[in-house]
Chains A and B, each alone.
Chain A
Amino acid sequence: MKWASGMAILALVLLVAAGTWSLFPRPDVPPWEEETAAWGAKNAVAAIVLGARLWDTLFEVLVYAMAMVGVRLALRPLRRTEPQAPLPETPLLRRAADVLLGPIVVFAIYLAASGHLGPGGGFPAGALLGSGLLLLALAKGADRLGGELHEPILERGEYGAIVALLAAGLGVLFLGWVGGGLFVGLNLLIALEVAIGAWVVLHHFASSRGEV
């Protein structure tokens, strides 16, 4: 069985390679400039993700949110009540958090707000904010930071962002909303959602880490 399935993987790789070989040379890209401009964006990828294929993006955001629900559901029964050994902490980390946190937040907002003009967008911005929170958690201790960030409020923010995105989706798909302002709003909502989700994962992973 092992032997057969190993051969199957090899055959699969060869098949995909043969299929890909026949794709070359690649034809020219059909023109995309006009459609991008019609959506009020400069970045064609942003025009697709937040405009033409917003329907996909809505489900993608839901996938992300559902994974966070799963993290909460599965790890809640494992939450430890006794205090745990603190994460390793160094003065270097604390100084780095002091210095870097401001620029991280500013850069994340910049990424979200300019995603339709150049590289960027809500997802990288949210991931950046989430990693900023990780830095803060390493410097301050995850449990302490978890106490300061009130979970019910975060949850409300998360689901509120999803509901707002879905409502905006109806506006884009049926009422013909376009333009840069719309994209900035959508990107900020996505960034909020992603940052909260990233924090939920980090916090739950850190607080159920068990013996190291």
Chain B
Amino acid sequence: MTQAIFFVLIIFPGTGGEICVSRAMKTIGEVTDFRPHAIARFIGRALAVPWMWIGVAMMAMGFFALLGMLSVANVSFVFPATALSYAVGALGGKIFLGEKVTPQRWIGVLIVCLGVALVFIGKR
């Protein structure tokens, strides 16, 4: 049961946090000037968007859940299982950010999921 709770906390707040950060960035608009002072201004604007802070807090929650999960489960199980976050991320992008996830992108995301799982299984 503890493992299931940690697992849900890794996948959903972790990925949800990244989606919130993405939403914050879309609110600000596309970066077209890459000079250091323009990037610094962009970061300043990003930090003023509440979605950014919600995202960072959720990502922190996901990170601490990962630490908790590693204390109760084997690394060889934890990391391959977290590969699922790529599929959840694509679904979240579609639902919460209105992205068009084409069948081709879905196939790519699922191949990446399997690849990440294999990398960690192969690590032992």
Asked if A and B bind, the verdict is: no
Which B residues have a C-beta under 8 Å from some C-beta of A?
Answer: none
Which A residues have a C-beta under 8 Å from some C-beta of B?
Answer: none
